């Protein structure tokens, strides 16, 4: 298939995508959010161990620049300056992320509510999914219908089963999901060796996994994630503390943090935090992550001192990053992210 035919075959999906993004912007405006823009090329792209930034040359003073993996750091600097309800819809970049649900360059919606609990952000996500579905022509009431996969779909896979968006989304926890789908009881205080032993007892091969994160995600991806949000989207709250890089700890259970992920038909749509505002604890986490990145022979980024200086000025805040490409996939019934973008990475 030549390029012209391929692009023509994606026309319906791209029209649907435009409608979803337009409807999302209108919803945020109606909710009183200020749309902001922050830099795409930064000195400190993010410390998370499992995210790798794409180099972007040098800045005016010769310092290394990276494409942002998320606009989070700069948006929090705005929150520290007194902004209360902000949203950004724009591109983010992550190295090495290619697959049916991943592209190195992707569209993200990230928003924050100062003074709001994490549950309010979950309510936002639920509303936004319904807004996107309506924009795509999906019937939410009665038969939870789905539009067919976009014409010219390249994945060749079957469209996901219908989702019922007429009822409140499921809300569960990491502990409950692990017990239900992996028969693994997690208390949040396990060492790497103890967690690996629990994983093996649950029948999961964790050979070669040497970090807490790697052991956990082997279990999560193998045994839990594929089952999440089947038939009805699901929020998974209360993540283990090692997996909440910028989230505040739960006051009643400090082995876990205020975080949720939103899933629909096994697809992760959003990742949200009750935001950490303790600069000392955040610095300690950054330093630990930098040491781990160095041990794993990954690029080590400089700490964002301006973010750390802004954190004490933030009121208790909750925020989320939602993948808009994936949301478009969901409401259009697509199984491959390349079917809902004009140009995939290999076509650029």
Q: What is the pLDDT of residues 168-208, one digit of tens each?
A: 999 999 999 999 999 999 988 889 999 999 999 999 999 98
Q: Structurally, how many domains does the chain consist of? A: 1
Q: Region 86-97: what's the mean pLDDT?
A: 94
Instruction: Report if residue 223 sits inside a domain.
Output: no
Where does the pLDDT of residue 142 fall: very low under 50, low under 70, confident under 90, or very high at 90 and above? very low
Q: What is the pLDDT of residue 159?
A: 58
Q: What is the pLDDT of residue 48?
A: 83
Instruction: Report if residue 259 sits inside a domain.
Output: yes
Place of tokens 């080590």: 300
Instruction: Report if residue 10 sits inside a domain.
Output: yes
pTM of the model: 0.91
Q: What percent of the chain has pLDDT over 70?
A: 93
For the stretch 146-174, pLDDT in tens is 444 444 445 455 556 678 888 999 999 99
Q: What is the pLDDT of residue 208?
A: 85
Instruction: Report if residue 31 sits inside a domain.
Output: yes
Instruction: Report if residue 200 sits inside a domain.
Output: no
Instruction: Report if residue 322 sits inside a domain.
Output: yes
Instruction: Report if residue 185 sits inside a domain.
Output: no
User: Cα–Cα distance between 55 and 58 in angstroms, integer?
Assistant: 9
Residue 322 three-state SS: strand
Q: What is the pLDDT of residue 160?
A: 60
Q: What is the pLDDT of residue 150?
A: 45
Which pairing describes strands 64-67 and 41-42: parallel, antiparallel, or unpaired?
Answer: antiparallel
For the stretch 109-122, pLDDT in tens is 999 999 999 999 99
Task: Give 50's contacts (C-beta < 8 A, 6+ positions apart).
Answer: 213, 217
For 167-188, b where at least 16 C-beta lie within 10 A, e where not — what string? eebeebbbbebbeebbebebeb
User: Cα–Cα distance between 150 and 130 in angstroms, integer?
Assistant: 19
**What single string gives the DSSP state of each residue in 148-195?**
PPPTT-SS-PPPPPP---SSPPEEEEHHHHHHHHH-----S---HHHH
**Would the pLDDT of 211 be above 80?**
yes
**Residue 268 exposed, middle or buried by CB count within 10 Å (0-12, 13-18, 19+):** middle
Q: Region 276-284: what's the mean pLDDT?
A: 96
Supply the CATH number for residue 93's domain.
3.30.930.10
Q: What is the pLDDT of residue 236?
A: 98
Task: Give 111's contacts (C-beta < 8 A, 6+ positions apart).
Answer: 28, 33, 85, 86, 87, 88, 121, 124, 319, 320
**Side-chain-facing half-sphere of 339: CA atoms under 13 Å:** 26
User: Cα–Cα distance between 149 and 336 in angstroms, integer?
Assistant: 10
Lowest-confidence region among 21-35, 213-227, 304-318: 213-227
Nearest to 35 by CA among 53, 21, 48: 21
Q: What is the pLDDT of residue 149?
A: 44
Instruction: Report if residue 182 sits inside a domain.
Output: no
Q: Region 213-237: what's the mean pLDDT?
A: 93
Q: What percent of the chain has pLDDT over 90?
A: 69
Q: What is the pLDDT of residue 317?
A: 97
- Which has the higher per-residue pLDDT, 165 or 81? 81
Nearest to 271 by CA among 315, 334, 323, 220: 323
Tell me the CA distances in angstroms from 105 to 36, 122, 240, 341, one per residue in order: 19, 25, 28, 10
Lookup: tokens for 256:
């876990």
**Would the pLDDT of 302 be above 80?**
yes
**What single string gives the DSSP state of each residue in 71-109?**
SHHHHHHHHHTT--EEEEEEEEE-TT--BTTB-SEEEEE
Q: What is the pLDDT of residue 144?
A: 41
Q: What is the pLDDT of residue 161?
A: 66
Nearest to 50 by CA among 271, 249, 229: 271
- What phi and psi values does residue 88 have, to the nearest 5 degrees? -135, 130
User: Cα–Cα distance between 197 and 187 in angstroms, integer?
Assistant: 14
Q: What is the pLDDT of the chain when averaged over all its residues?
A: 90
Find the domain containing 292 and state its range: 3-169+232-347
Tell me the CA distances in angstroms from 248 to 124, 234, 256, 285, 318, one per residue in order: 20, 22, 9, 11, 10
């Amino acid at each position: 298939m030549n390029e012209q035919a391929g692009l023509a075959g994606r026309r319906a999906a791209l029209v649907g995508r435009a409608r979803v993004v337009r409807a999302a912007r209108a919803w945020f405006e109606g909710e009183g959010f200020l749309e902001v823009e922050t830099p795409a090329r930064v000195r400190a792209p993010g410390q998370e161990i499992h995210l790798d930034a794409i180099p972007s040359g040098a800045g005016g003073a010769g310092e290394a620049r990276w494409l942002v993996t998320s606009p989070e750091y700069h948006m929090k600097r705005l929150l520290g300056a007194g902004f209360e309800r902000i949203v950004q819809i724009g591109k983010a970049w992550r190295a090495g992320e290619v697959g049916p649900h991943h592209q190195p360059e992707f569209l993200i919606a990230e928003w924050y509510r100062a003074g709001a609990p994490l549950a309010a952000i979950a309510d936002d996500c639920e509303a936004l999914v319904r807004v996107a579905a309506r924009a795509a022509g999906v019937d939410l009431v009665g038969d939870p219908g789905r539009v067919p996969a976009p014409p010219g779909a390249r994945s060749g896979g079957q469209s996901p089963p219908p989702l019922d968006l007429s009822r409140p989304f499921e809300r569960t926890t990491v502990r409950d999901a692990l017990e239900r789908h992996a028969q693994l009881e997690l208390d949040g205080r396990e060492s790497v060796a103890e967690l690996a032993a629990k994983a093996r007892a649950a029948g999961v091969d964790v050979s070669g996994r040497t970090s807490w994160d790697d052991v956990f995600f082997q279990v999560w991806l193998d045994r839990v994630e594929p089952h999440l949000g089947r038939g009805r989207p699901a929020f998974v709250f209360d993540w283990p503390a090692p997996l909440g890089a910028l989230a505040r700890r739960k006051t009643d259970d400090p082995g876990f943090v205020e975080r949720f992920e939103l899933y629909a038909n096994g697809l992760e749509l959003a990742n949200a935090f009750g935001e950490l505002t303790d600069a000392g604890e955040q610095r300690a986490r950054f330093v630990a992550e930098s040491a781990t990145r160095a041990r794993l022979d990954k690029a080590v980024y400089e700490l964002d001192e301006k973010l750390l200086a802004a954190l004490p000025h933030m009121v208790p805040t909750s925020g989320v990053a939602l993948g808009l490409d994936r949301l478009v996939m969901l409401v259009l019934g697509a199984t491959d992210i390349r079917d809902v973008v004009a140009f995939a990475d290999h076509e650029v």
